[in-house]
Amino acid sequence: MASEQQQASQVKRRRVFYIPGYDPIHPRRYRELYRKEGAEQAEISGYDIGLKPKATKGPYGWHVTATQEGARVEADIEVLVWSDIVRDSMSSTIPATYIQLVQTAWTYIGSGALWRLMKLRKGPVIAALYPVGMLLLQLVLALAITFGVYSALFTAALWLPMAPNLLLQIIALCAGAGVGVAVLRWFRARDGKFFAYYLMHDYAYSAQSNGANPPELEARIAEFTDLIAEALTQDADEVLVVGHSSGAHVGVSVLADLIRAGRVPPSGPALGFLSLGQVVPMVSFLPKAERLRTDLKYLSARAELNWVDVSAPGDGCAFALCDPVTVSGVAPADKRWPLVFSAAFTQTLSPKRWAELRWRFFRLHFQYLCAFDQPGDYDYFRITAGPMTLAERYKDRAPSKSRIDVAISKYTSVGS
């Protein structure tokens, strides 16, 4: 276990492993976001930060040099990529997506998970219902257009001499169906604006196994664990794992496996886990999520790391201020993590900036990785490139009083 003295020491070199959520985009997106938003935050907060290309082998990443609080810090930030798994899961045809819709809805409704999730936060539940409603709306519209085209063509064709009635109906129906299919394809081609297919695939990926990890994700978790274990044997002062959105529950399992296997050196770097905008209950509330619930219970009592969970009620896509361990019904008697507090968007963003972002729900879900023009005690760029460990930075931070820390999940079974 890393000593308390080490955890309190100044950081000169840090390794950061960022685990994205369910995102099919190339990880360079996160480098550009860090570059742009880091420069903006540095200007606002009065420190220096700069990016260079990564010079070491391993996952995609970048090198950061920062001067904050009078100290120079070097940080290597690497993205633990599972976007290929995401892209493969999103390759369904339009009919297959509608089958996923039915299966996913049945999983959450039939298990009772949906009703319990609504007791936590309505925002992410509405976000989960949105793709269902939007896809059904698209289907109804396509069917209505199909019927309209069929009716118009068949009525017009009745005026043709010597035309068999059945043949007219078939021709009109095929033409209507063709237009209806074109409408569905038009919506899918523009899903970058509607996000219906994207979100449907996201929820379906967790629901397809009732909360159990698919084999390809388990294999990737093992790879991530090996990478972090290797970093803990090197010369960094802190190894920080950041899990955003769905990446938070992936991070929980990675770190649980790491510690369970005894791969955290007693005299190694400080180990920190920062979960941002987590959606853990969307998985942990499902019947077969025993793996995740086991890891949540285990990790929450470990002294080998410091776990901080940050969210904000203004983020309608996250289970804001919901303690992921306790609400999942697996909090042990000796629970010590996570420290749950709010990024308080309405206070850390100016009224003007908040007004600009308030209804941009997906953009707000990424605000944790961005600059705040009225920053409080949460600053992503101080955490990842500043001279203090996660443990030291928040050693005196009290949890948010408005956090939800009561057991809600119906399914609380765990492994041995």
Distance of CA 37 to CAs 43, 173, 306, 372, Å?
A: 10, 53, 25, 9
- pLDDT of residue 219 exceeding 90, the answer is yes
Q: Is residue 370 part of a domain?
A: yes
Same domain, 146 and 220: no
pLDDT given at position 164: 59
Mean pLDDT, rounded, of the chain: 91
Find the CATH number of the domain harbouring 228.
3.40.50
Higher pLDDT, 388 or 152: 388
- pLDDT of residue 122 exceeding 90, the answer is no
Q: Is residue 352 part of a domain?
A: yes
Among 181, 205, 229, the domain-final residue is: 205
pLDDT tens-digit profile of 227-283?
A: 999 999 998 999 999 999 999 999 999 999 999 999 999 989 999 999 999 999 999
Residue 4's pLDDT band (cuts 50, 70, 90): very low
Distance of CA 265 to CAs 166, 234, 261, Å?
A: 78, 10, 11
Same domain, 58 and 103: no
Same domain, 137 and 234: no
Helix count and strand count (H, E) for the chain:
18, 8
- CA dist 104 and 303 (Å) reads 37
Tally of domains in the chain: 2
Same domain, 242 and 343: yes
Which range is least confidently modeled, 109-118, 189-198, 250-259, 366-375?
189-198
- CA dist 349 and 370 (Å) reads 11
pLDDT given at position 160: 59
Most confident segment among 5-14, 171-180, 393-402:
393-402
Same domain, 224 and 184: no
Same domain, 385 and 285: yes
The stretch 191-218 carries a mean pLDDT of 89
- CA dist 312 and 352 (Å) reads 18
The stretch 353-372 carries a mean pLDDT of 93
pLDDT given at position 359: 86
Q: Work out the percent of the chain whose per-residue pLDDT is above 70.
A: 94
Same domain, 230 and 375: yes
Which range is least confidently modeled, 54-58, 284-288, 316-320, 389-393?
54-58
The stretch 353-366 carries a mean pLDDT of 92
Same domain, 149 and 33: no
Among 140, 173, 205, the domain-final residue is: 205
Q: Is residue 73 part of a domain?
A: yes
The domain in which residue 35 lies consists of 4-85+215-393
Q: Do 332 and 300 form a contact (C-beta atoms < 8 A)?
A: yes
Residue 158's pLDDT band (cuts 50, 70, 90): low
Residue 57: burial class (beta carbons within 10 Å; 0-12, 13-18, 19+): exposed
Sheet with 306-311: list strands edge to edge.
48-53, 61-68, 71-79, 13-19, 238-244, 270-276, 306-311, 339-342
Residue 9's pLDDT band (cuts 50, 70, 90): low
- pLDDT of residue 351 exceeding 70, the answer is yes
Which range is least confidently modeled, 47-51, 325-329, 355-359?
355-359
Query: How do 306-311 and 270-276 pair as beta strands?
Result: parallel
Same domain, 294 and 309: yes
Same domain, 81 and 94: no
Residue 2's pLDDT band (cuts 50, 70, 90): very low
- Residue whose pair of structure tokens reads 């294999």 in the numeric block: 219
Residue 274: burial class (beta carbons within 10 Å; 0-12, 13-18, 19+): buried
pLDDT tens-digit profile of 59-101?
A: 999 999 999 988 999 999 999 999 999 999 887 789 999 999 9
Same domain, 250 and 336: yes
Instruction: Judge if pTM exceeds 0.85.
Output: yes
pLDDT given at position 3: 41
Among 170, 205, 240, the domain-final residue is: 205
- pLDDT of residue 162 exceeding 80, the answer is no
Residue 306: burial class (beta carbons within 10 Å; 0-12, 13-18, 19+): buried
Same domain, 220 and 77: yes
